[in-house]
Amino acid sequence: MQRKTKIITTVTTALALLALGSGTALQIHAANDVSSVGQTTAPAKATADGTKLQADSASGTKQNYRVNYTATNSQSATYQKTTYGSTSTAKDQVDYVGKSNGASVKLNNGTTAVVQGTMGHTYVHWNKGDWSVTAVTSNADATGTPTQFAKQVNQQLNKASLPKKADTGAITVYSQDEDNETNSVTWQDGKQVYKVSGTAADATVKVAQNADS
């Protein structure tokens, strides 16, 4: 009888430990989940030229997450973090553009850029430290010149810092608001790659400037 009681007690203890182990694993997994913008390096909001983006959802894990932004004027943006297996793989995800050939143009703040044209668009490109910047203007856009738009972008970049921990980064923005989140700011920090995509150029850049990383 004592032996039977001992066996039952042993089985009960083992089941309790198994349940505890399972519960602990679930708790660890839950602690790694992201459900609010406060758990990320993304800013809660960003305002640029009248566009006020507000973070309204966050999902994923601490290694890989996504934050969505919306605005009252139908603008939108996303902030994503992706962790890769190596630093070199992460670096390959950033479309950094080095010095390009083409006609040179003077921007504000002593910046010299290169102008290139192809397929109905004009590209003004320059480098800013470890960042490459490309301002794209449609030749059908009659609201201003490619140089004027590039100056606006350069002025915004000089007013506030981009993420300081970035090993390398790339910015591509368009003079006209896009239906899709075509404007992008991407940067690498070790094995992590952060990318902001948005429908408005200045608001997209502002989200990146407000980031904690």
Which residues lie across from 72 on neighbouring strands? Answer: none
Q: What is the pTM of this model?
A: 0.83
For 56-91, the pLDDT digits (tens) are 999 999 999 999 999 988 999 999 999 999 999 999
d(C-alpha 112, C-alpha 127), whole Å = 9
pLDDT > 70 in the chain, percent: 85
d(C-alpha 42, C-alpha 58), whole Å = 10
d(C-alpha 200, C-alpha 164), whole Å = 23
Burial of 211 by CB count in 10 Å (0-12 exposed, 13-18 middle, 19+ buried)?
buried
Predicted confidence pLDDT, tens digits, the chain (213 residues): 444 444 444 434 443 433 444 443 444 456 799 999 999 999 999 999 888 999 999 999 999 999 999 998 899 999 999 999 999 999 999 999 998 888 999 999 899 999 998 888 999 999 999 999 999 998 877 677 999 999 999 999 999 999 999 999 999 999 988 778 999 999 999 999 999 999 999 999 999 999 986
The contacts of residue 147 (CB under 8 Å, 6+ apart) are 105, 107, 115, 124
Tell me if 58 sits within 8 A of 40, measured CB to CB.
Answer: yes
Q: Computed over its alpha carbons, how large is the radius of gyration of the chain?
A: 24
Burial of 24 by CB count in 10 Å (0-12 exposed, 13-18 middle, 19+ buried)?
exposed
CB atoms within 10 A of CB 18: 10
